[in-house]
Structure 1
């Protein structure tokens, strides 16, 4: 019974295990995406622009395109916001008892992660090509602009990894959705005249299976100790 899981997590009802939570692949990728988004945001906002020595309007180091600087900075900001939101969802995921709700959360996670991965793929190549096309007649500091390109690539890998494990959770699905509840599986036999070789019906359960919430109470009488369930993705 310790292997009963739904969408990459064990049964609801156990205490939050911070150590196990921090070891989840999705959480690790989420933190990488969070840190990369912060650095990307700060690098482009602070170092993506060049102030000409002669004065005048600032020049975006990404091909003198102000839209490229604005887009890269915005991507860092939205990536940070999305990573924080999904980390909160990850922390509360195992408290969700309804399998259909878990499915919707996993689908949302997969969609958001995949979209960010695709957009960061576009962002990386856009920033790289724009930076290489820049032509300035005076020296400039491009270290932060280059850092923005690098962390756009890191963000691509982080969101791609998060999307992969979200897909793994979705594929795993609710394997227990059609399984009997604990009470039904371990219930004592109920006699019935229509069952049994000797018409005694001993040891036969005649109650129909019902869909039960995906929960377990960690008590002395519970057949499963939720503290020992695998934490999943």
Structure 2
């Protein structure tokens, strides 16, 4: 049992190694999720609304549907915060010594990553549909068209990055479950 290192707990209390952390596939995908959320939020906030001379208020570039822009802004902001929060959890994860606590963290990561993959897919479908049915007379100067396309593309990319995180978390859950079974089999009985 001396050669066995518990998954995640083998270095509990050890120093944090940033290079090892950055090279992990889960960290790379989490950073991509974070950046994609920033891009979606930035595109909508910067060029997602257009002014019309005869109107007092701004219109959403996606078929003048305010719900489309509101959805993109909300998903971009919440996706940014969620990926940053789970990135912080990934930093803290090796310090968690209890198998049950690590298992709860990994299960939360699976559920949240799968949910976000679905949310981004819905966003991609909704924004692509609204962009497709937008009428040229709503935006005669074609303002913000590149930002709208970038928003749709990065919503599409986010589906796969969050889905990849869910798959990586499933692999992590298998390792944590194996560790739990190992501890049950080889822990000394209490007197």
Count residues with an aligned counterpart: 184
Question: How far is 1:17 from its partner?
Answer: 1.2
Match of 1:209 in 2: 188
Contact between 2:33 and 2:79, CA under 8 Å: does it hold in 1? Answer: yes
- Give TM-score, length-normalised by structure 1: 0.73
Q: Matched residues in 2 for 1:180 and 1:126: separation? A: 47
What does 1:148-167 correspond to in 2, within 5 Å? 148-167=151-170
Match of 2:23 in 1: 23
- Give the direction of change, closer, same or farther, for the CA distance of 1:135–1:95 in structure 2 (3 Å limit): same
What does 1:140-179 correspond to in 2, within 5 Å? 140-141=142-143, 142-179=145-182
Match of 1:102 in 2: 102
- Structure 1 moving runs of 4+ over 6 Å: none
Q: Note the alpha carbon deviations across 1:96-145, whole angstroms, 9 max, x for none.
A: 00000000000011111110000100100110110010013222221111
Q: Matched residues in 2 for 1:3 and 1:20: separation? A: 20
Q: Matched residues in 1 for 2:135 and 2:69: separation? A: 16
Match of 1:129 in 2: 129
- Give the direction of change, closer, same or farther, for the CA distance of 1:16–1:105 in structure 2 (3 Å limit): same
Q: Which structure would you say has the larger Rg? A: 1
Q: Matched residues in 2 for 1:122 and 1:31: separation? A: 21
Match of 2:6 in 1: 5
- Give TM-score, length-normalised by structure 2: 0.88
Question: How far is 1:171 from its partner?
Answer: 2.1
Contact between 2:43 and 2:150, CA under 8 Å: does it hold in 1? Answer: yes
Root-mean-square deviation (CA, aligned residues, Å) is 2.0
Q: Which moved more, 1:168-177 or 1:100-109?
A: 168-177
Q: Note the alpha carbon deviations across 1:37-96, whole angstroms, 9 max, x for none.
A: 011001011211111243433221112110110011110000010011001100010000
Q: Matched residues in 2 for 1:111 and 1:210: separation? A: 35
Contact between 2:48 and 2:60, CA under 8 Å: does it hold in 1? Answer: yes
Q: Note the alpha carbon deviations across 1:140-196, whole angstroms, 9 max, x for none.
A: 221111111111112112111111101111122332334469xxx8xxxxxxxxxxx
Question: How far is 1:210 from its partner?
Answer: 4.2
Specify every segment of 5 or more residues in structure 1 that has no aligned partner in the other structure, as ranges.
186-207, 212-233
